[in-house]
Chain A
Amino acid sequence: MSLATGKSAFLEGLISGVPFLFVAGPFAFLFGVVAVETGLDIPQSVGMSLVVIAGAAQFTAVQLLSEAASIWVAMAAALAVNLRMAMYSASLQPHLGSAPLWQRVIVSYLNFDISYALGIAHFDERPERPVNQKVAYFLGTIALTAPFWVIGTLIGAAVGGALPDNALIDFAMPILFLAIVGPMLKTLAHLAAAVSSAFAAMLLFWLPTGIGLLIAAAIAMAVGAEIERRRGR
């Protein structure tokens, strides 16, 4: 590989990740505010963002702590929220599994909804890219968002206060993820999987956080795979 191609793949990833800064920044700020209100101090709030580095799970843990849940309940619930990332890990394996161990460690630490969604969308478009470029692209997608996440938490925890009540901020995340899903609906199998996922997740929304999504995802994967098996790709 030439260094230049690795670098340009990283840059491509970096650019594709820019819109998510508008999501991660306010979200991180909000986490800092909520964490401090719950009773975490500033090092604990920032430490959590740095070590756990998973937005929804962190909110879940802090929310349960604020309700005086036992630490076991808070830990179990937050980990359940993150279980979908095992599916992400498995889905990235065919693309990134042959990378050196240290790179897979870094990719794993930075495997979020954002980097996974941008990364897998790109790898499915360009499966022929060499693994080092795929790793570079993946790390590029998150190279700005990850520091934003930690620094945003610090600012929120230190400054406190509230976010302006703007519909665009709270709805930016759903819009960006739907925009990623749109081009992925290439076949009937993909479309059916996406529709099953959405409906099953809403039907199972009453289950503890994260569990409903997990079941919905398993159903949707089975739907997609079964249609593919019957019709061919």
Chain B
Amino acid sequence: MSHSATEIWAIIAVLGVGTFLIRFSFLGLVGARRMPDWLLRHLRYTPVAVLPGLVAPLVAWPDAAGGDTDPVRLAAALATLAVAFWRKNVLWGALAGATTLEALNWMF
């Protein structure tokens, strides 16, 4: 690697401060004030707008499967989502997904 120790520590410090400021932004500066309704209406969808996008590429093109679509992982992902939605329960969903993954891996 072509970077000095000083450069590495500088990166760590800048990333640490920058990441904290990103995380602190609204929570820190807006505080207890009420944000406008149109913004709150958008923010209500934050988790369902970020998390599916975060995992979709990992489900569609998992690195561990060589970057190609893997039917076993796809089935496990669908089973997780379906059971979690149906039972309205995180753990049942995760259990269904893990079981599907292991069972299909073992069969094929």
Contacts and interface: CB of A to CB of B under 8 A. Distances in A.
Contacts, number: 298
Contacts of A200: 53
Nearest to A184: B48
Instruction: Provide the main secondary structure of the chain B interface.
Output: helix
Contacts of A199: 56
A219 B84 CA distance: 24
Instruction: Provide the main secondary structure of the chain A interface.
Output: helix
Contact of A61 (B15, B23, B32, B51): B15
Contact of B3 (A65, A222, A228): A65
B15 A89 contact: no
A77 B60 CA distance: 23
A104 B7 CA distance: 30
Interface size bracket, B side: 35 or more
Interface residues of A, number: 100
A68 to B, nearest CB: 5
- Most A-side CB within 10 Å, residue of B18, B73, B102: B18
Nearest to A40: B8
A159 interface: no
A181 interface: yes
A47 B12 contact: yes
Contacts of B101: 167-168, 171, 175
A197 B2 contact: no
Interface of A: 16, 19, 38-41, 44, 47-48, 51-54, 57-58, 61, 65-66, 68, 71, 74-75, 78-79, 82-94, 96-98, 101, 104-105, 107-109, 111, 113, 116-117, 120-121, 124, 165, 167-168, 170-185, 189-191, 193-202, 205, 212-213, 216-225, 228-229
15 contacts: A44-B8, A44-B12, A52-B15, A52-B19, A61-B15, A75-B18, A85-B19, A85-B23, A89-B28, A121-B47, A121-B90, A175-B98, A181-B48, A220-B53, A224-B45
